[in-house]
């Protein structure tokens, strides 16, 4: 199966700076086998189990895995039946093109490898791990498997199905059942453990599909029996403060998971039943330091020049989930001083910011963006933040506020920074007002970050380089690719990073907007003011080994 590159005892002597004969004496009563030798020395306090097993893995030419709970993709737990995993002390830690990476307590157990290959239909790459970490992982696996399976069986035996939960009163009793509560809590915990940004609970014709979005990719976590759909969604609605008896209209709500983590919940009626999506708002991971936005120094200088102006309109643009709100709050955090009155109107209020007045949109109370903005302007504000400019009325009030001495920050949905000008004109904002009001527009997208633990140099192909206007000689730059490791769960990517473009509106560009200049002139004046397309920012980050060129191109094509 594999051959050792040297003897363990000699390697241990070198590592521990001990005489080989001393180790032979120390291990004279030890049972034969490298594992027993490592455990004996660990018991004597001469080496840690992890260090010993890492050394053994190197000698065998095998990968080593620490089996940390967060380093194992939860979707892999179903790749190997628990009874097989328990019998062979085996944990699946990765999957790549039909081959499973399996941590085995005994790396020489060919019978275990054969059975795992037969049961899963996949090849096996043996990985070394300490016995204690394998035991702990098996215990977690057993608890997770028996936990969710037990909950499902309890619920199915309770005859929770689409027919039996027809009336609201019975549904209210069912959602208080301990098994329903634990099942929903388990799904949320699994999503948070996988660092998901969104959790999807989706009714399908053959079951209830649970998917999570991690680093922009949407993958299936569980497929549950279809009969659990109504109870699960009803529990989510109760926990988020929605009307459990209403199933014909979309509803929105929130679930407080902890002091720092909150779920923004949306329930949407569909042909097969209600679908619930929970967006994870993790305040613990949000930094309001502009220097940590990972903008280039050039773009950050333009952005700061725009939002620190005495008055004007500063806009963020990009698709849903591109980090606009985080960037907006970062600028707001710098402006939030004791001598500055900051008022916001949002839908919803995503992050609470001390020292500001935050207003929640409420359509039923006729507190729309436009109505709230009118009231805010009577509150003597210095800085106004509008969650989103969605209509002509809100856009008009925002521009008027910018022209009358206020700094207005907001978001708008356009394909890129320059097209924001045309979008506002299409909203019936007079160009002669927009030109002097607009200070800057920031466009951004999120791109998967290459895992720093397994990043390796790579040479992009000629066709890909050509998309960026580069030739083969550019391959000498620092382009990298993620090979896949336990830290990124074999994905090669971990986390996301934003790529930006910043349109700073210089006096010349503002004058050109006022007289409705053509696109070519606007582009030329924007470039003269420092505008660089998002593709350029992505290329610079790829040359620093932060992102893959392919991912930059995929994001930039949405422009």
Residues 555 and 445: beta-carbon distance below 8 Å: yes
SS3 for 481?
strand
DSSP string, 121-152: SSEEEEEE--HHHHHHHHHHHHHHHHHHHHHH
Q: pTM here?
A: 0.70
Q: What is the pLDDT of residue 517?
A: 92
What is the Rg, in whole angstroms, of the alpha carbon atoms belonging to the chain? 29
Nearest to 502 by CA among 327, 342, 287: 327
Residues 66 and 54: beta-carbon distance below 8 Å: no
Q: What is the pLDDT of residue 32?
A: 57
SS3 for 24?
helix
Q: How far is CA 502 from CA 14, 200, 306, 420, 529, in A?
A: 56, 33, 10, 12, 10
SS3 for 391?
coil
Distance CA 277, CA 263 (A): 9
Residues 175 and 238: beta-carbon distance below 8 Å: yes
* Residues β-bridged to residue 263: 255, 280
CA contacts within 13 A on the Cβ side of 326: 24
Q: What is the pLDDT of residue 151?
A: 66
Distance CA 346, CA 386 (A): 6
Pairing of strands 383-386, 342-346: parallel
Distance CA 50, CA 15 (A): 13
pLDDT digits (tens, 9 = 90+) for 317-372: 988 878 888 898 889 989 999 999 999 988 877 777 888 998 888 877 878 888 88
pLDDT digits (tens, 9 = 90+) for 157-203: 565 554 444 566 666 667 777 778 888 888 898 888 878 889 999 99
Q: How many CB atoms lie within 10 A of CB 461?
A: 12
Distance CA 546, CA 367 (A): 43
- Which residue stretches of the chain have pLDDT < 50? 3-6, 19-26, 162-165, 559
Residues 447 and 551: beta-carbon distance below 8 Å: yes
Residues 501 and 317: beta-carbon distance below 8 Å: no
Distance CA 173, CA 160 (A): 11
Residues 434 and 412: beta-carbon distance below 8 Å: no
**CA angle 213–219–223, rounded 5-degree value:** 120
């Amino acid at each position: 199966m594999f051959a050792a590159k040297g003897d363990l005892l000699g390697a241990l002597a070198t590592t521990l700076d001990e005489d080989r004969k001393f180790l032979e004496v120390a291990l004279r009563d030890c049972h034969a086998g490298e594992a027993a030798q490592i455990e004996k020395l660990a018991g004597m306090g001469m080496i840690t189990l992890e260090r010993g097993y890492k050394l053994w893995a190197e000698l065998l030419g095998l990968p080593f895995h620490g089996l940390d709970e967060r380093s194992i993709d939860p979707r892999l737990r179903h790749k190997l039946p628990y009874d097989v995993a328990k019998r062979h002390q085996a944990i699946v830690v990765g999957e790549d093109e039909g081959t499973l990476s399996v941590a085995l307590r005994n790396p020489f157990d060919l019978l275990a490898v054969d059975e795992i290959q037969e049961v899963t239909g996949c090849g096996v790459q043996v990985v070394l791990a300490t016995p204690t970490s394998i035991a702990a992982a098996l215990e977690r696996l057993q608890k997770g498997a028996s936990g969710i399976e037990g909950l499902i069986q309890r619920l199915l035996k309770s005859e929770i199905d689409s027919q039996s939960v027809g009336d609201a009163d019975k549904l209210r009793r069912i959602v208080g059942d301990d098994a329903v509560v634990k099942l929903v809590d388990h799904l949320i915990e699994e999503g948070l453990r996988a660092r998901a940004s969104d959790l999807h609970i989706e009714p399908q014709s053959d079951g209830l599909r649970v998917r999570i979005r991690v680093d922009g990719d949407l993958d299936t976590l569980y497929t549950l029996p279809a009969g659990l759909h109504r109870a699960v969604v009803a529990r989510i609605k109760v926990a988020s403060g929605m009307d459990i008896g209403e199933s014909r209209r979309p509803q929105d709500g929130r679930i407080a998971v902890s002091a720092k983590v909150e779920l923004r919940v949306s329930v949407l009626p569909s042909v097969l039943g209600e679908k619930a999506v929970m967006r994870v708002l993790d305040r613990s991971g949000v930094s309001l330091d502009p220097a940590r936005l990972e903008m280039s120094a050039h773009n950050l200088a333009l952005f700061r020049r725009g939002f620190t102006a005495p008055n004007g309109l500063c806009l963020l643009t990009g698709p849903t989930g591109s980090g606009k709100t985080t960037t907006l709050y970062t600028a707001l955090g710098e402006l939030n001083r004791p001598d500055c009155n900051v008022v916001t109107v949002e839908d919803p209020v995503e992050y609470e910011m001390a020292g500001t007045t935050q207003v929640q949109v409420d359509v039923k109370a006729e507190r729309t963006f436009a109505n709230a903005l009118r009231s805010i302007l009577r509150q003597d504000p210095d800085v106004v933040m509008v969650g989103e400019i969605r209509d002509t009325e809100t856009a008009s009030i925002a521009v008027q506020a910018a022209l009358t001495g206020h700094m207005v920050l907001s978001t708008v949905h356009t394909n890129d920074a320059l097209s924001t000008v045309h979008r506002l004109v299409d909203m019936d904002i007079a160009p002669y007002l927009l030109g002097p009001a607009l200070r800057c527009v920031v466009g951004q997208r999120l791109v998967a970050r290459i895992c720093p633990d397994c990043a390796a140099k790579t040479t992009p192909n000629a066709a890909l380089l050509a998309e960026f206007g580069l030739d083969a000689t550019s391959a000498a730059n620092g382009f990298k690719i993620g090979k896949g490791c336990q830290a990124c769960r074999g994905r090669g990517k971990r986390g996301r990073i934003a790529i930006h473009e910043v349109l700073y509106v210089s006096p010349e560009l503002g004058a050109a907007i006022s007289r409705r200049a053509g696109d070519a002139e606007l582009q030329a004046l924007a470039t003269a003011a420092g505008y660089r397309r998002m593709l350029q920012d992505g290329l610079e980050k790829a040359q620093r080994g932060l992102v893959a060129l392919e991912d930059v191109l995929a994001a930039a094509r949405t422009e």
